[in-house]
Every structure is written in C-alpha cells, then in structure tokens.
Amino acid sequence: METMRFTKLWLWIPLLLVATAEAQSLEGCLNKCGDVEIPYPFGIGVQSRTGRNCSLQESFELTCNSSTSTLLYGDHPVSNISVQGGHLDISMSVSKVCYNQPGVALLNPQSLVNNPSFAVSSVQNKFISVGCDTLGIVQFQNNRTSYGGCVTLCNAPPQQDLNDKTCSGTGCCQVDIPVGMRNITVVASSVFNHTNVSDFNNCSYGFVAKQNWFNFSVDYLRDFPFDMVPLVLDWTVSDHTCHAASTRSDYACTANTDCADSDDGFGYNCKCKPGFDGNPYHPDGCHDVDECQQESANNCISKENCRNTIGSFECFCPPGYSGNGTTAGGCYPPLSKNPLTMVFTGISIGLAALFMSMSWLYLVSQKRKHMKQKEKFFRQNGGSILQQQLSGRHETSLAVKIFTAEELKRATNNYHDNLIIGRGGFGTVYKGFLTDKKIVAIKKSKLMNQSQVEQFINEVIVLSQINHRNIVKLLGCCLETEVPLLVYEFINNGTLYDLIHNKGKSALVTWETRLRIASEVAGALSYLHSAASISIVHRDVKSANILLDESCTAKVSDFGASRLVPLDQTALATMVQGTFGYLDPEYMQTNQLTEKSDVYSFGVVVIELLTGKKAVSFERPEEEVNLAMHFLSYLKQGHLHEILEDGIINNENKERVKEVAMLAARCVRLRGEERPSMKEVAAELEGIKMVGDQLGVKRELNLEETQTLLGETSKFNEYGDSIDHGNRVWDSITDHVLIDFDSGR
C-alpha cells in the first residue's frame, strides 16, 4: 500500500511543478501585484539575496503601486501577462477633443511610450473613432512614421440613422491596426468643429481598444462613459532573430523550449516544446506534461493503456491482445480468436485495391478539371464579353491583349514576394518578365463584384485605348484566374513622391523640371477628363501615383480607384475613399465625385512641388499639419517665398513661380465650382512653361484672381511677398476644416 501511495504521489509531482512554473518569478522577486501575476522575463526591482535584476532586460521592468496594488507598465495599468502567447494587457486613456463652444477646441491627444520590445497587436486590437463630426487619427512608428484613421459623420438628431452596437461609419467607425507598430499616438479631431451637431454631440473620441471589447451605443454621442480602454501589446525578446540569438550568451530560451521569430522580424519569443509546459524563459525551463493523467491530452482508450514518455506518450494493448491501444484502433484478441478480423481484413484489402484503381482516374481528370476551372473564371470575369467587343472593333489604337494564367505565372516566378513592387488598397503589383524579354507591371486586384463584370470589361477596353505619353499604358489582362489580372508598361525610376521628399534627390530637381512635371501631369488628367472616348475620373491623384521614367518624364498611374463617367452624368455618388491630405473636402461632405475632385488633388501635388513638403505630416506644428491650408495661409499673409523649397525662386523665374502658386491656390478652393477645369489648368501651365525668362517676357499676376483668393488687390515684392498689410477679405477656403492626414494605399 505504501508503494502504491508513493507511485500515485510521484505521478502528480510533474503537474505540481508545471502549475508553479507557469507563473513563476525569479527567486526572491515579487510574484504578484494585486491580482496580477508577474512571470519572468518580467519583474520588479532586484532579487533580495543576489541583487540580480528581477527582469530579463530593462524593457521588461514593471512597477507596483503599493497603495492601489496596481501593476504598471510605465504609466499604464497592466491586467494580464501571457508568457506562452507573448501578450501584455494594459489600459490606455481615450483621446478626445471637446468644443466648449463652436470653433473652440480642448485637445487631448494620447501617446503610448515608445519601447522597441513592444508592438501594438494587429490581431487583437482595433482603432475606433466615435462622434457625429469626428476625424480619428492614429500615428505609428516602425522605422518610419505612418498614419491611419477614419471619419465618422451623422445627421441630427442621430437616432434617425444610427443603430446600437453597430460601428459601421455613422457615429462610429473602426479600422485595423498594421503589423509591427511600436509606438502610437492617437488624436481625435473634428471636420467641421461640431458646428452642425453641437446641440447633442460636442466631443470627438479616438482610441485603440481590444478586439470585440467595444459595443457602440447611440447614448455615447451625448455622454461617452470611458476614460480608459483595454488594449493588447505583443512583446518580444531582444532585437535579434532566433538564429542570431541562439549563439549569444544572453539567449533567453531555456530547457525544452523552441524559439519563434516575431511576425515583423524584430526579436523573438520562446515557447515550450510540444509535450512540455511551464515558463520557457525561467532558468528551470519547461517541464514534461504527463498526458496520461489528462484525458484531453491523449487518445488512448484508458489510463491503463497509456504510458507517459518525455515530451509525449504511448498507447499500448495488454499482453495477448492486438492493436495500438488508441480510441481509433482499439485492442482486440488474436486473429484465431476473432473471426470478424478476417472480414475486416478482406474489406481493407478490397478498399486498397479500389483506391489504387481509382488513383489513375483522378490524375487523368485533374487536368480536365483545371481546364474547366480556367474556362469558368474566364466567363465569370467577362472573357466572352471582351472577346465579342474585340471581334467587333477594327481600331488600330485598340492594343489590349488577353494573357493566359500560365504566361503571367511564369513572368512573376509564381508571384514570388521578391518581385512585389507595390501594395495598395486595390491589390498588389508585381514586376514581370515576358517571354519576349519585355518587362511589365502585373496588378493582382482584390475580388471583384460579379455585378460589375461588364463595367470592368468596358474599363479595360477604354483604358487600353488611352495612348498618352504621360499615362501608364494598359497592355492587357488575364481573366483565367479567380481575381482578374491587369498588365501595364513598367516604369523604372520611382515615384514623384520619392523625388520630392528624398532630400538627396530633391536638391537636384530644378524649377524647370518641377514645372515640366506639373505640366505633364495636368495634360494627362485633362486628357482623361475631356479627350478620352469616355470621361475618366482618376479619384486618387497624389505624388505617390505619379511614376517617373529614366528621363524624369511623368506617368500617371494606379487607376484602381478610377471610374468611367457616362456622357450624361457629371458626378458619381460613392463611398468616401481616397488619400487623406489630397482628398477633396467637398467630396467628404456630399459623396459626389466630380472631375473637380481630381483638380483639388492635383493642386496639392503642385504645392508639394513648390514647397518640398508632405501633403500631411503630424511632425509639423498643429496649424501646419495640412499642407494645402498651411500654403494658403502663407499666401494670404504675402509670405510666399518663406514656404517655398530652398533654391526654387530667383530673379529670373519669380514671376512664373508666383503664377504657378496662384494657380495651385485656385485648384484647392473648397467649392468645386470655383476651381478651374483640368483643361484650363493644363493650358495655363503650358503657357507658363513656354514663356521663358530668357525671352524677357514678364507675366503680370492676374489681379482679379488675386482679389478672389486674397481679398483686396495686393502688391508684391520681388519674392512674391505682400507689401500691403491692410485688411483683406478671405474667401470660403478658410471657412471650413480640411481633412488633414494622408493614409496612402
């Protein structure tokens, strides 16, 4: 009896060790703060006996508020630490802006302290904005600064168009968090200063919160109840990969553990090997799990048929029985004592023979099935419609080619990641090499709505006929895949965004080159609006969508957001989309898409060319975040030369620079009806470009336009600064708040 008791006690010892190891701190270190356990590699202070740090590295040092028994990471309360998952649950303040009267804001941005060992979990969090006039912005740091966010508007009173628990864009909106973001700043702001909804909603809120934690309620628009929200951080050890860290003396993974690199390539995590449990960072390592004592951990028919091994288990049958002791196989007497076994054996042999005889039929049918699937996708994606349109056309300008799926698969080495040259909200772009050695750009779009097949084919036909030197040429398409593929000419010299904002390159870009690029882009957009067979609105004009070839010739690209405008329509109602910083503010209010939306975006590009500044940047002071508004403010004050990029303006070109600046200001007017058409813009830029200073032609500023934009007639010095400081009447441009950040696709 004593032996049996000792044996049973011995079986429970590994389970007890596992239970204590999972939440174990180093010896002599605080194991808990309040109700929250503190497992190593996290810790507080130093060991009482050795003086060694209780945490693995400085970034895992926590504090405990003894008066409130609250565990803190920096200033943020900690509610849970997951060693196996690599997660840290914390609380973060809500960012809000409240207007105690229309136009007077009390701003409260919130930041999370930058720590390279921690990233905001992209799987377990969402960014959420709440309010009836709210622009929620989240800034991320991961080697570079990125921005995201969303806009939510609603009518008054809100009950007419809102539903509780539905965060779908009216009163509440939410977006995903990118992978690997190591520092965030959340800013809640307003589009219209709450002037239209201040009687029931005078505050905007923005926050990052744990997935599925937040349930929207209409009551939150009047009284938002949360000051703090929970979110989840992913944490990693060191800044090395598993391969590099395993050779170092400070390698964190202990006995019976595996190492896993983080998803974004920064640092690693340790995990217990299969069949082991505990704390993979603790010096004692992970301990063997006795799967035989846990029914859910083994598939043996009983405990008596289970034998524990290091890291695993074995199922067996008693002596004199056959089988494997598992629930699937079981145990049964020898063949001579079990006649049914012969029946089962015969059935097994018959099934095996049937399987072998059917295998060759499967192989033969696979190729036929694959061909039928390609034919299905071809019809589903409008291949028959495209062939009919091609057969009925004889124009020499129609050069669209229908590629096969195999051609493009070979051209991209089966769509290898190394050949990705761009990603966006509408798809991924690959660099491809055709069999005739021609280099192309292949765009793999997202799934297409089947109700739009005919429209998609019409767009392919129209875009393939565009033959303009400043527009990227559509060469053809492939319709044999589930997602249609588009093939464009390949442009090899980067984007205008890179040229302007790379300081090493921008210093070499002369005024003449900038003016020529602006004129080329204007000509291309004018062609799309008025010279194409069907008017085309681009809808996402920005410097990142303007490519440059080896001679620095501009090529307008990325028609993923574009739409064809029928001749009997002047506007299209659409969901709000585009790139913040370039987005037409009138479009945000009305959802009416017009050609003047492209004019506004083009005006922002011209201002980028003049100033060398980004369209939106939260690294600048608050009043300078939106470039268009910042530029107009300087123009209004008569300080044009102060905002221009160094080296652009001189005595020879100052008149032309001022004319281009005034033209850009007209393009970014708030009301679309006050903006010029792209045809007018292209003609004016071409005229400015042709009138060179070497001919001694001095163009005078258009006084009427100056009055419209800047109030009373102003006088300028030789650098474009106003020398008339009297009162001026400012037009509707400053009467509204523009969207002031760029989320880029």
Q: What is the set of active-site residues?
A: 540
Is the torsion defined by CA of 542, 545, 550, 553 positive or negative? negative
DSSP H stretches of helix in 625-653:
627-637, 640-643
Question: 47 exposed, middle or buried (CB, 10 Å; 0-12, 13-18, 19+)?
Answer: middle
The reply, when asked if residue 444 is annotated as ligand binding, is: yes
**Which residues fall within 8 angstroms of residue 615, CB to CB, at 6 or more apart?**
542, 543, 581, 582, 604, 607, 608, 626, 627, 628, 742
Sign of the C-alpha dihedral computed for residues 496, 502, 504 and 508 taken in this order: positive
Partners of 205 in the beta sheet?
Answer: 96, 130
- What is the distance between the terminal CA atoms of the chain, rounded to a whole angstrom? 73
Question: How many helices, marked H, and strands, marked E, lie in the chain?
Answer: 16, 37
Closest by CA position to 570, among listed 602, 586, 587, 593: 593
Instruction: Report the distance separating Cα 279 and Cα 17, nearest Å.
Output: 11
Q: Rounded to an integer, what distance in angstroms lies between the CA atom of residue 112 and that of residue 136?
A: 16
Q: How far apart are CA 533 and CA 557, in angstroms?
A: 19
Q: List C-alpha distances in Å: 320 to 13, 44, 95.
A: 33, 59, 72
Say whether the peptide bond before residue 333 is cis (omega within 30 degrees of 0): no
Could you tell me if 593 and 576 are in contact, meaning their C-beta atoms sit under 8 angstroms apart? no
Per-residue HEC secondary structure of 302-349 comes to: CHHHEEEECCEEEECCCCCCEECCECCCCEECCHHHCCHHHHHHHHHH
Q: How far from the centroid of its chain's Cα atoms is residue 264's Cα? A: 14
If one counts every other C-beta atom within 10 angstroms of the C-beta of residue 37, the result is: 17
Select from 157, 128, 133 the least CA-distant residue to 216: 128
Query: Which pair of tokens denotes residue 607?
Result: 């201002």
Q: What angle do CA 170, 171, 174 make, to 5 degrees?
A: 80
Q: Where are the alpha helices (DSSP H) in 591-719?
A: 595-611, 627-637, 640-643, 654-667, 678-690, 703-710
Six token digits for residue 23: 């939440």
d(CA 608, CA 618): 16
Backbone angles phi, psi at 568, to 5 degrees: -95, 10
Q: 77 preceded by cis ω (within 30°)?
A: no
Residue 56, number of CB atoms within 10 A of its CB: 20
Is the separation of the CB atoms in 71 and 77 below 8 Å?
yes
The string of DSSP codes covering 194-252 is TTTTTTT--EEEEEEEETTT----GGGGT----SEEEEEEEE-BSSS-HHHHTTSTT--
Strand locations in 22-111 (E): 32-33, 36-37, 63-65, 70-73, 76-82, 87-93, 95-101, 104-108, 110-111
DSSP 3-state assignment of 395? coil
Of 655, 358, 611, the closest CA to residue 509 belongs to 611
Binding site for ATP: what residues are annotated?
A: 444
Q: Which residues are annotated as a binding site?
A: 444
